[in-house]
Structures are given as C-alpha cells and as structure tokens.
Amino acid sequence: MKNYSLPGFTINLTTLFEFSKTLQNFNRLPLFESAHNALNAKFENQTLGFFDWPERIPAEEIATLQQISKELRARYEGLLVCGIGGSHLGAACVLEALRSEKEENEFPIFWLNNVDRWAIERAKSFVSRRKVATLIISKSGNTTETLSGFFHLSRFLDPKGTVLITDPNSGELRRWVNTHSYLNLPVPPNIGGRFSVLTSVGLLPMALGGIDILALLDGAKQLRRHLATLNLLDNPAYQYALASFWWDKKENRSIHYLMPYLSQLKLLTDWFVQLWAESLGKKNTEGMSVGPTFVGSLGTRDQHSLLQLFKEGPQNKLIGFIDLKENSESLKVGTSPVPSPQFEYLCHHSFEEINSKALQATAKSLNSAGTPTYQIVFEELTCRTLGAFLLFQELACAISGEFYQVNAFNQPGVEEAKRLLRESL
Ligand code: PA5
C-alpha cells in the first residue's frame, strides 16, 4: 500500500505502483538522490524560491498586506483583479474553494483574465455598478492582456484604491510605482508566476476575499516540516512525481487527468494544469520534447461525458481523483415527492456518501480495465489544508522537472508568444 498521510490530506498512490511491474522493481533511490541534490543546489543558489517562502516572507510584508486589505475592504464595495496565468489562478482557485456565498455577495470579486470583448464588457459592467478597489498583478509588468484591460477600465477606477503587484526592481509597473506612488507589493524575483500563489500575488487577493492567509501559510509550513522528517524513499512528493513520470515515459500514458469530486475545486484543476504543463512541457537537456498533457475535469459530472473514453478509449491516461473525508454534518437526500419504491434506497443516503461512492465505483471500474488511478482525500477544506496541498503540488512538480531533465521554472514558449503579440501590435 502506498497511502501517505500528509498534513490535512492523504494521497493514495497504490494502483500507480501495483499496475506497473517495471515501476515496482525500479531501483528509485539513485534517481531520487540525484533530483534531491539538483534541487538542493537550486535551493542553495536561491533559484528554488517558492519552497521556503512561507517561512521567509517578511513579517512587514504580511503586515502591509493585511493593512492594505483592511483599508480597501473598508473603503470599497468590491474588487477587480487584472492578472493572467500565474498572476490569476492561485488566488482564484483558493477563493473559489473556500469563500461562502455570503462573502461573495458582501464583497464580490471580478477577475479580468482575458481580453475578448465579452470579458471586457462584463468587467466594465462590474466596475461601473459599484465602487471597486483594483489589483493589477503582473510579475513582468508587461503582459499585454493585463495592461490593456486595465487601461480600458481605468477611467472607472480610483487610483488611490489601485494596488500594483509586480517585480520589485524591473518592468513598466514598477516604474509607475516609482513615479506615481501607487500602493504596491513586490513579487519575489526568484519565484515564477505559476509558483507564486503563496506570495503577495496570491495573498493580497485572498486576504481581500476574506481568506485567513496566516492559516494558509501555516498549512504550507506544516507540510514542509512534515516532509523534512521523511527519508527520500518515504517522501510522497518524490513517489508521486515518479509515478506520474513513469506512466508517461515508460508506460505510454501521457495524459494526466485530475478529477475532483467537489465542484468548488474545479478551478484548482486549472491551477494544477498550468503548474505542471508550463513547467514540464518543453525541450529537455538533450533537446527532446517532453511533458505529459495535463487535463482538469470534474466528478461526478464528467462521468457522464468522459468516463466512456477513459474506460474503453485509448489506454493512454492516468487519472487522479480528489475527495473530501465524510464528516458528521452530512446532507441527506430525503424522501421523493412521489412515493417511488424503486428509489426508496436513495432517501437515507447523504450526498457526501453518493458522491464518494460514485468516485470509488469509477476508480474500481477503471482499475478493472487496467487504468492506473490515485486518490487525494482532504480531511476538510480549509486554508490550512489547501496551503499544504498547494506547496505539495509545487514541490512534486519541481521534482518532476528533474526527472524529465527540464528547467521547470522557465516558459520560453509563453514568452515568445507574448513578444510576438507585442510586436504585432
Ligand atoms: O507562470 C508564468 O510565468 C506565466 O503563466 C505568467 O504567470 C503569466 O504569463 C503572466 O505573467 P505576468 O505575471 O508577468 O503578467
């Protein structure tokens, strides 16, 4: 059994290992050690900035961030956030996972993360109906979509309620900070966009949305402390990275789905996809194109659209499920409006039970066809457990980068398209 207990969640990798004889027999210690040494070297030369950031984030930065958040919440009726990719998905997925409907109504947040006409018109309608604070998040300070959306909407916005989150030294937004004294927060230079959820990039929008950011950071710290007590062979981040790598490279399953059975985690799959796809999909040190295709999907909904393909279509997929441990406050289905003996059995079950059983049934059915699956189960969905989960994924992704022999921290393909767009405009 490869069922690992981590702070706030478990990850069960059993079938990933049981279904591949070659993986079972693979002597993984040398590979783990070499990845570990490479990551340690990056840590030492400070290119692996994300890993200990929850401990390193300056207390003054947290204080400033909380002060800004408190003032903006008091003075404005909602929030517009302009940002894309890593400057959007981290905070957006945590807010979607944890915010209550009441909080959404009290302080609505609109994310402008696209430049199609529809998105711009919707943003315009949002900002023209209420007095909003604004966050402009761009590490580089020169992303066309983020800036053009902001320019267009700026006539509706209060510069005093506008905060720029950008590189501390370079880029056009930093120049604005220096010349026009905008409220601002820095993005650590050694933490790239998709690894920046636990920096000011993610923390300020989350704080504004009512998330307990100290608990989130604490969850990440707990994860780090826990992993530090394990030897490499028992470290689930290494085992998870290895299993995903192995099924792609050695068993030709190059499509990796993450399928939460929780609607509020749908956006988390977008964050997951960006993190892994942009980090691994590139040329390796030998010039070969590598990297699996990552896809997010949602249970049980997509059982009714994708499961057929998973089960009988090309056997080129690996599926990860996410579930939530049942708690005592379960919600029962209740009786049918029309007596219905055929469905009598349903009335006594809870939705949590139906949902989890659907997940188990799907996993069982896929496993019986030889499809490898893994399961992540959250104890509860809180700031703490999500903080631990986010850091776990970032670390596993960085480890995977070593297995694939790619630089997990650059994105030349994305940068080229950004440059071509700027040139063509
Ligand atoms: O992960 C990345 O580096 C990218 O996805 C960026 O986050 C995205 O392109 C936005 O860049 P920026 O924050 O510079 O506007």
Across 376-388, average pLDDT: 98
- How far apart CA 176 and CA 330 sit, in angstroms, is 51
* Residue 419 maps to a domain: no
Ligand 1 pocket test: pick from 82, 140, 420 the residue with the most ligand atoms within 8 Å of its Cβ. 140
| Closest residue by Cα to residue 92 from 277, 265, 323, 220 | 265
Taking residues 159-187, report their average pLDDT: 95
Output the pTM of the full model: 0.97
Helix (H) or strand (E) holding 60: helix 59-75
Residue range 26-34: mean pLDDT, rounded: 97
Ligand 1 centroid from CA 414, angstroms: 8
CATH of the domain at 222: 3.40.50.10490
Q: Identify the band that residue 326 occupies on the pLDDT scale cut at 50, 70 and 90.
A: confident
Last residue of a domain, one of 178, 211, 244: 211
Closest C-alpha to ligand 1, atom 8: 85
Q: Ligand 1: does its nearest atom lie under 6 Å from the Cβ of 147?
A: no
Listed residues 145, 176, 211: the one ending a domain: 211
Q: Are residues 252 and 354 in the same domain?
A: yes
- The secondary structure element, H or E, covering residue 111 is strand 109-112
Tokens linked to 403: 């297995």
| Structure confidence at residue 19 as a pLDDT band (50, 70, 90) | very high
Establish whether residue 86 lines the binding site of ligand 1, counting it when its CB lies within 6 angstroms of any ligand atom. Answer: yes
Indicate if 19 and 124 belong to the same structural domain. Answer: no
Q: In the listed set 211, 246, 264, which residue is the last one of a domain according to the structure?
A: 211
Could you tell me if 204 and 221 lie in one domain? Answer: no
Element at 374 (helix H, strand E): strand 373-378
* 128 and 221 part of one domain: no
Mean pLDDT of 55-79: 98
How confident is the model at residue 289, as a pLDDT? 97
Q: Which atom of ligand 1 is nearest to the CA of 88?
A: 7
Establish whether residue 85 lines the binding site of ligand 1, counting it when its CB lies within 6 angstroms of any ligand atom.
yes
Characterise 340 by phi-psi region: left (phi > 0), alpha (psi -120 to 50), beta (else). beta
279 CB within 6 A, ligand 1: no
- Arithmetic mean of pLDDT, 361-390: 97
Q: What's the whole-number mean pLDDT along residues 163-179? A: 94
Q: What is the overall mean pLDDT for the chain?
A: 96
Give tens-digit pLDDT for 251-262.
999 999 999 999
Could you give the count of Cα atoms lying within 13 Å of 206 in the half-sphere of its Cβ?
31
Q: How many domains does the chain have?
A: 2
Residue 422 lies in a domain: no
Q: What is the pLDDT of residues 100-141, one digit of tens each?
A: 999 999 999 999 999 999 999 999 999 999 999 999 999 999
Active site residues: 278, 304, 418
Q: Is the dihedral of CA 80, 85, 90, 92 positive or negative?
A: positive
Tell me, yes or no, whether 425 lies in a domain. no
CA of 245 to the centre of ligand 1 (A): 25
CA of 192 to the centre of ligand 1 (A): 7
What is the domain extent for residue 376? 3-43+217-413
CA distances from 225 to 45, 191, 229, 230 (A): 21, 20, 7, 9
162 and 278 both lie in a single domain: no
Same domain, 251 and 369: yes
Residue 202 lies in a domain: yes
Per-residue confidence (pLDDT) for residue 381, from 0 to 100: 97
Q: Residue 249: what are its φ and ψ, rounded to 5°?
A: -80, -35
Task: Output the pLDDT for position 83.
Answer: 98
Residue reference for tokens 């708690």: 327
For residue 322, tell me if it sits in a domain.
yes
Mutate-to-test residue for ligand 1 from 167, 411, 416, highest number of ligand atoms within 8 A of CB? 411
Residues 388-392: what's their mean pLDDT? 98
Backbone angles phi, psi at 292, to 5 degrees: -70, 170
Residues 151, 152, 156, CA angle at the centre, nearest 5°?
100
Residue 48 near residue 407 (C-beta atoms within 8 A): no
Model confidence pLDDT, tens digit, residues 273-316:
999 999 999 999 999 999 999 999 999 999 999 999 999 999 99
Best probe residue, ligand 1, of 82, 87, 88, 422 (max atoms within 8 Å of C-beta): 87
Q: Which long-range contacts (CB under 8 A, 24 or more apart) does 149-152 make?
A: 149/82, 149/112, 149/115, 149/119, 149/120, 149/123, 150/82, 150/112, 152/120, 152/124
pLDDT at 330: 86
Q: What is the pLDDT of residue 329?
A: 78
Does ligand 1 lie within 6 Å of residue 226's CB atom? no
Q: What's the CA-to-centroid distance between 417 and ligand 1, angstroms? A: 12
Average pLDDT over residues 388-400: 98
